C-alpha cells in the first residue's frame, strides 16, 4: 500500500495540513507533525496559481523571490529523515512538464513523496502523468467540485486512490466565514459514491468549521489558515485546529 492509504486506514477522521514549500519547509513540516497532522500537503510556488487565494499566493511569491523551486523542494524533502506524516505535493502542471513526467515521478518516489495534486490538469488529460506516477506507486489525487457532473464523478471514482479532494467552495482557496447546507449535501453525495476517503478542502479555517464538516466526510484539508499560523509561529493554534478532528 501507498503511505497515504496506510495512514488513512489507521485514522478515523484525518487532518491534512497545507503548507507552502519555502525556506522553512523542514521546520514547518516538523511543526505540523508535532501538532498531530495526518498528512502534509506541500505547495510548489508558481507564478500563476489559479486555484489559490491571497494568503497562499503571497506565500508562493515570497518563496519564489527566495529562489525556491520544485527541484529545491525535492532536495529538502529528501533530507527529512522520518516522514511520519505522508507528503503530498500540490503543484501546477508547468513545473512537472519542465522536469519531465518520468523524472518527476521517479523523484517523488526517491525523495519520499506519496501523492500529487495538480489542480490545472483536467481528469480527462491525466493519463500520461498518471501512468508514470502509477509505475512509482505515487497517487495522483483528483479534485471534485459541486459542479462536477454525475457521469464525470463516476469516472473519477473508478480511478480514485488515496483520497478524494472535495472542494467545498466555488472559487479559490481562502478562509470563509460559514458554509451552506448545500456543501454538506455535496460531501455526503460524494461519500456515498466511493469507498475512498473523502477530504473536504478550501475555505476551512476554524475548529468549529472542522467540527461541522466531519460528520459529512472522512477528514478536512486546511490551507490558508495553516500558512498564516506557520508564518506567525503559532504552533499551539495549529494544534487546536487539528485536535478538533478528535473531539
Contact (CB, 8 A) for 8 and 38: yes
Question: Active site residue: 5, 28, 52, 218, which one?
Answer: 52
All structural domains of the chain, each given as residue ranges with its CATH number in brackets, are 3-246 (3.20.20.70)
pLDDT attached to residue 172: 44
The average pLDDT across 187-198 equals 95
Q: For residue 174, is pLDDT > 70?
A: no
Residue 1 CB burial class (10 angstroms; 0-12, 13-18, ≥19): exposed
Note if 41 is an active site residue. yes
Residue 130 has pLDDT above 60, yes or no: yes
Is residue 28 annotated as a catalytic residue, yes or no?
A: no
Phi, psi dihedral angles at 139 (to 5 degrees): -90, 130
What's the whole-model pTM score? 0.94
Catalytic residue of the set 5, 28, 41, 218? 41
pLDDT tens digits, one per residue of 132-147:
999 999 999 999 998 8
Amino acid at each position: 500500500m501507498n503511505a497515504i492509504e496506510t495512514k488513512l486506514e489507521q485514522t478515523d477522521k484525518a487532518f491534512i495540513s497545507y503548507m507552502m514549500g519555502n525556506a522553512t519547509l523542514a521546520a514547518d513540516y516538523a511543526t505540523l507533525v508535532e501538532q498531530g497532522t495526518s498528512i502534509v500537503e506541500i505547495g510548489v510556488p508558481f507564478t500563476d496559481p489559479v486555484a489559490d487565494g491571497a494568503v497562499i499566493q503571497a506565500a508562493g511569491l515570497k518563496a519564489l523571490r527566495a529562489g525556491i523551486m520544485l527541484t529545491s523542494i525535492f532536495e529538502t524533502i529528501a533530507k527529512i529523515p522520518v516522514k511520519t506524516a505522508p507528503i503530498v505535493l500540490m503543484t501546477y502542471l508547468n513545473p512537472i512538464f519542465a522536469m519531465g513526467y518520468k523524472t518527476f515521478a521517479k523523484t517523488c518516489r526517491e525523495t519520499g513523496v506519496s501523492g500529487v495534486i495538480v489542480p490545472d490538469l483536467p481528469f480527462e488529460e491525466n493519463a500520461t502523468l498518471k501512468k508514470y506516477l502509477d509505475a512509482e506507486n505515487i497517487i495522483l489525487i483528483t479534485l471534485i467540485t459541486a459542479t462536477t457532473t454525475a457521469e464525470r464523478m463516476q469516472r473519477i471514482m473508478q480511478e480514485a486512490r488515496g483520497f478524494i479532494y472535495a472542494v467545498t467552495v466555488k472559487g479559490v482557496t481562502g478562509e470563509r466565514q460559514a458554509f451552506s447546507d448545500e456543501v454538506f449535501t455535496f460531501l455526503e453525495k460524494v461519500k456515498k459514491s466511493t469507498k475512498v476517503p473523502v477530504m473536504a478542502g478550501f475555505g476551512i479555517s476554524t475548529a468549529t468549521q472542522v467540527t461541522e464538516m466531519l460528520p459529512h466526510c472522512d477528514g478536512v484539508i486546511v490551507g490558508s489558515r495553516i500558512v498564516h499560523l506557520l508564518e506567525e509561529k503559532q504552533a499551539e493554534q495549529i494544534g487546536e485546529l487539528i485536535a478538533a478532528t478528535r473531539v
